[in-house]
């Protein structure tokens, strides 16, 4: 007995939809793969660009830190130490020397321009969190060192520098005692020298951390 024509027609339709659905599914899969690949390429490019920006920040910070670690910082520490050593030796010999007259001829604070710019522009967010914490701590100490120099400089401009040509009598009492304000000024110079030395050492350590982060 033959099957109804309607049943044969429905089976035919169902059979026809199978290849069509498979074709649509294949095309959708191809589109999905293409879109995913495009996103992957774009993410890769973004990651590469971000890595490039991060490296630029690291290089700029390293150049700034180098001044405190290898050039200006150690030079200032050496010059102050020489002046203080000469003063201490002269006083130990019973002399009445002119006090140290150290001064920074240009900028009175450690260089922090790159760090400040990175904070202002938000590029500091490219730096890994642990390293950013170390940098923030270092630059806070650099500000403290700058404050110490300015305190010393402000007092020296009043009590020392204007009287250097007047000789020892401008700094020593008639009874041979060092004037109190001069003793305080020399102590401020010692404090600045000690902090400057520690800052230079810390700058060298932070540069090493930067180099490690750059190579990771």
- 111-154, pLDDT tens digit by residue? 999 999 999 988 888 888 899 999 999 999 999 999 999 999 99
Which pLDDT does position 188 carry in this prediction?
Answer: 97
Q: Which carries the bigger pLDDT value, residue 203 or residue 9?
A: 203
Residue 206 pLDDT > 90:
yes
Question: Residue 34 above 90 pLDDT?
Answer: no
How confident is residue 5, by pLDDT bands cut at 50, 70 and 90? very low
In angstroms, rounded to a whole number, what is the distance separating the alpha carbons of residues 105 and 114?
21
- DSSP 8-class letter at 174: T
CB 158 within 8 A of CB 115: no
Average pLDDT over residues 188-199: 96
Residue 181 CB neighbours (<10 A): 13
The pTM assigned to this predicted structure is 0.75
* pLDDT score at 125: 87
Q: Would you call 178 helix, strand, or coil by DSSP?
A: strand
Looking at residue 8, its pLDDT comes to 42
Say how far apart CA 169 and CA 68 lie, in whole Å.
37
Instruction: Report residue 108's pLDDT band, with 50, 70 and 90 as the boundaries.
Output: confident
pLDDT for position 76? 93
Provide mean pLDDT across the span 54-78. Answer: 92
Place of tokens 């400057």: 196
Side-chain-side CA neighbours of 12 within 13 Å: the count stands at: 6
Of 23-27, 192-196, 203-207, least confident by mean pLDDT is: 23-27
pLDDT at position 7 is 46
Which range, of 44-58, 61-75, 138-152, averages the lowest pLDDT? 44-58
Range in 67-71, 80-84, 122-126 with the lowest mean pLDDT: 122-126
Q: Which residue has the higher pLDDT, 162 or 1?
A: 162
The rounded radius of gyration (Å) of the Cα atoms in the chain is 36
Average pLDDT, the chain: 84
Query: In the chain, what's the furthest Cα-to-Cα distance?
Result: 140
Collapse the DSSP code of 172 into the 3-class scheme (helix H, G, I; strand E, B; otherwise coil) and give the result: strand
pLDDT score of 11? 47
Contact call for residues 61 and 137 (beta carbons, < 8 A):
no
Tell me how far apart the alpha carbons of residues 180 and 159 are, in angstroms, rounded to a whole number: 10
List all residues 6 or more positions away from 71 whose beta carbon is below 8 Å from its beta carbon. Answer: none
- pLDDT reported for residue 18: 63
Residue pair 58/210 in contact (Cβ under 8 Å)? The answer is yes
């Amino acid at each position: 007995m033959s099957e109804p024509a309607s049943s044969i027609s429905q089976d035919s339709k169902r059979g026809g939809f199978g290849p069509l659905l498979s074709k649509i599914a294949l095309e959708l899969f191809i589109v999905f793969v293409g879109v995913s690949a495009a996103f992957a390429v774009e993410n890769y490019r973004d990651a590469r660009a971000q890595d490039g920006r991060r490296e630029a920040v690291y290089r700029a910070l390293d150049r700034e830190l180098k001044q405190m670690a290898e050039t200006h910082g150690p030079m200032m520490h050496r010059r102050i130490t020489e002046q203080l050593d000469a003063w201490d030796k002269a006083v130990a010999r019973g002399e009445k020397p002119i006090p140290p007259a150290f001064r920074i001829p240009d900028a009175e604070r450690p260089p922090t321009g790159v760090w400040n710019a990175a904070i202002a522009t938000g590029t500091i967010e490219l730096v890994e969190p642990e390293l950013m914490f170390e940098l923030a701590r270092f630059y806070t100490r650099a500000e403290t060192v700058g404050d110490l120099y300015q305190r010393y400089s402000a007092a020296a401009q009043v009590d020392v520098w204007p009287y250097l040509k007047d000789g020892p009598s401008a700094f020593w009492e008639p009874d041979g005692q060092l004037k109190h304000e001069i003793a305080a000024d020399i102590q401020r110079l010692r404090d600045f020298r000690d902090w400057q030395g520690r800052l230079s050492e810390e700058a060298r350590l932070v540069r090493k951390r930067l180099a490690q982060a750059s190579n990771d």
